[in-house]
């Protein structure tokens, strides 16, 4: 990953300057400027202190891995810790934002496509230049939150498809997939809930001053996070229901197997008893010398089997074997 420090600034004359050196910040008269640290080196990380003079605690939180999403207030700026999600692994990746009325500084150790989208939008829409750094902060957070939706929708589609395939004949592979999705939902939940709390604090903190229009934008992000929270919780409940259904079907199948063994054992108990009685080696057993004794005993065994099967059928035991 190539380390890049990109810069964008709007001058007092409403001109957009791009990719200017940091030293120009003190030479030009900017309405506001944006500096983005993309995968910075250790030397570039030191600029947070040596050039921007940010608070040491904010720099420490910025460099540590991995902070919980939060908002801290300092005298000259606000410090945001935002989480985006890796599309492949669903691992949280930290994005730090230093924001004031005069500047916005973003810092991240992984590429963030959402920031590139906001930069391109800024270049193509001069009408948004006058909205300043609060609007850029909103756009950055909004694009990151919007990137959560495809990940949740993808899991939801897979679960809906899997739910239709989960039948009595399903094997354990289906449940392995369900547990994998449940783990993915847990990863999403660990990111979405703190982000929701962060936006709640933005909307309700008197230190983060927003006008009516700006508050509506941040309220929209908060509503998106509420919807994402409901979707994640709903899908987690679906996985729990699928797990319970599978466990119930497995238990029913085991009960059927045990019932089969019980019926077989019950049938053979009286037959074994009869065979055991006439298998004893005593001299005085009149039945052993009868001409039809063998056929009589065999007939008794058959009658016992038929009688027991009839009783089992009458009691509905054989219905347990039907899926």
pLDDT for 139: 94
pLDDT for 125: 86
pLDDT for 141: 95
Is the pLDDT higher at 206 or at 140? 140
- pLDDT band with cut points at 50, 70 and 90 for residue 115: very high
Residue 305 resides in a domain: yes
> In the predicted model, is pLDDT for residue 280 greater than 90?
no
The C-alpha atoms of residue 87 and residue 275 are separated, in whole angstroms, by: 70
Are the C-beta atoms of residues 137 and 104 closer than 8 Å to each other?
yes
Predicted model pTM:
0.78
pLDDT for 220: 95
The C-alpha atoms of residue 185 and residue 178 are separated, in whole angstroms, by: 10
Number of structural domains in the chain: 2
**CATH number of the structural domain spanning residue 294:** 1.20.58.340
Average pLDDT estimate for 211-235: 93
As a whole number, the mean pLDDT across the chain is 86
Are the C-beta atoms of residues 155 and 235 closer than 8 Å to each other?
yes
Is the pLDDT higher at 271 or at 320? 271
Residue 120 resides in a domain: yes
The C-alpha atoms of residue 203 and residue 214 are separated, in whole angstroms, by: 10
The C-alpha atoms of residue 304 and residue 231 are separated, in whole angstroms, by: 60
Choosing from 128, 149, 180, the residue where a domain stops is 128
Residue 306 resides in a domain: yes
Residue 227 resides in a domain: no
Residue 147 resides in a domain: no
- pLDDT band with cut points at 50, 70 and 90 for residue 37: very high
> In the predicted model, is pLDDT for residue 279 greater than 80?
no
pLDDT for 288: 67
- pLDDT band with cut points at 50, 70 and 90 for residue 123: confident
Q: Of 38-42, 86-90, 181-185, 248-252, which range is least confident?
A: 248-252
What proportion of the chain, given as a percentage, has pLDDT over 70? Answer: 93
Residue 190 resides in a domain: no
Count CA atoms within 13 Å of residue 117 on its CB side: 12
Average pLDDT estimate for 193-197: 94
Choosing from 68, 102, 128, the residue where a domain stops is 128
Are the C-beta atoms of residues 45 and 63 closer than 8 Å to each other?
yes
Choosing from 128, 163, 189, the residue where a domain stops is 128
- pLDDT band with cut points at 50, 70 and 90 for residue 230: very high
Residue 198 resides in a domain: no
pLDDT for 232: 94
Average pLDDT estimate for 56-80: 90
The C-alpha atoms of residue 145 and residue 224 are separated, in whole angstroms, by: 8
The C-alpha atoms of residue 194 and residue 225 are separated, in whole angstroms, by: 10
CA diameter of the chain: 126
pLDDT for 166: 67
- What three-state secondary structure class fits 309? helix
Residue 289 resides in a domain: yes
| Residue pLDDT, tens place only, 135-166 | 999 999 999 999 999 999 999 998 888 877 76
- pLDDT band with cut points at 50, 70 and 90 for residue 286: confident
> In the predicted model, is pLDDT for residue 218 greater than 80?
yes
- pLDDT band with cut points at 50, 70 and 90 for residue 320: low
Q: Cβ-count burial of 304 within 10 angstroms (0-12 exposed, 13-18 middle, 19+ buried)?
A: middle
**CATH number of the structural domain spanning residue 117:** 3.30.460.20
Full residue range of the structural domain in which residue 298 is found: 254-321
Is the pLDDT higher at 225 or at 310? 225
Q: Which distant-in-sequence residues (6+ apart) come within 8 Å of 220 by Cβ?
A: 142
Are the C-beta atoms of residues 191 and 152 closer than 8 Å to each other?
no
């Amino acid at each position: 990953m190539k380390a890049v420090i990109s810069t964008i600034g709007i001058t007092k004359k409403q001109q957009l300057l791009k990719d200017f050196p940091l030293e120009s910040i003190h030479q030009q008269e900017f309405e506001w400027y944006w500096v983005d640290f993309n995968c910075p080196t250790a030397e570039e990380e030191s600029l947070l202190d040596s050039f921007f003079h940010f608070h040491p605690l904010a720099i420490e939180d910025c460099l540590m891995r991995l902070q919980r999403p939060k908002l801290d207030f300092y005298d000259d700026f606000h410090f945001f810790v935002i989480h985006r999600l890796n599309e492949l692994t669903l691992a949280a990746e930290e994005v730090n934002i230093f924001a004031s009325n005069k500047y916005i500084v973003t810092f991240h150790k992984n590429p963030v496509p959402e920031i590139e989208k906001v930069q391109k939008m800024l270049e193509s829409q001069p009408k948004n230049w006058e909205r300043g750094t609060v609007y850029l902060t909103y756009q950055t957070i909004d694009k990151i939150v919007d990137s959560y939706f495809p990940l949740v929708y993808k899991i939801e589609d897979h679960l809906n498809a899997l739910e239709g395939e989960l039948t009595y004949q399903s094997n354990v592979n289906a449940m392995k997939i369900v547990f994998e999705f449940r783990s993915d939902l847990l990863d999403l939940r660990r990111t979405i809930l703190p982000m929701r709390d962060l936006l709640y604090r933005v909307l309700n903190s008197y230190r983060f001053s927003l006008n009516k229009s700006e508050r509506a934008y941040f309220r929209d992000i908060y509503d998106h996070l509420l919807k994402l929270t409901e979707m994640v919780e709903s899908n987690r409940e679906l996985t729990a229901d699928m797990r319970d259904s599978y466990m119930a079907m497995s238990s029913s199948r085991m009960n059927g197997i045990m019932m089969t063994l019980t019926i077989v054992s019950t049938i053979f108990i009286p037959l074994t008893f009869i065979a055991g009685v006439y298998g004893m080696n005593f001299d005085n057993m009149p039945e052993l010398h009868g001409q039809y004794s063998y056929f009589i005993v065999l007939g008794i065994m058959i009658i016992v089997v038929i009688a027991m099967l009839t009783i089992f059928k009458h009691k509905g035991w054989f219905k347990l074997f039907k899926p």
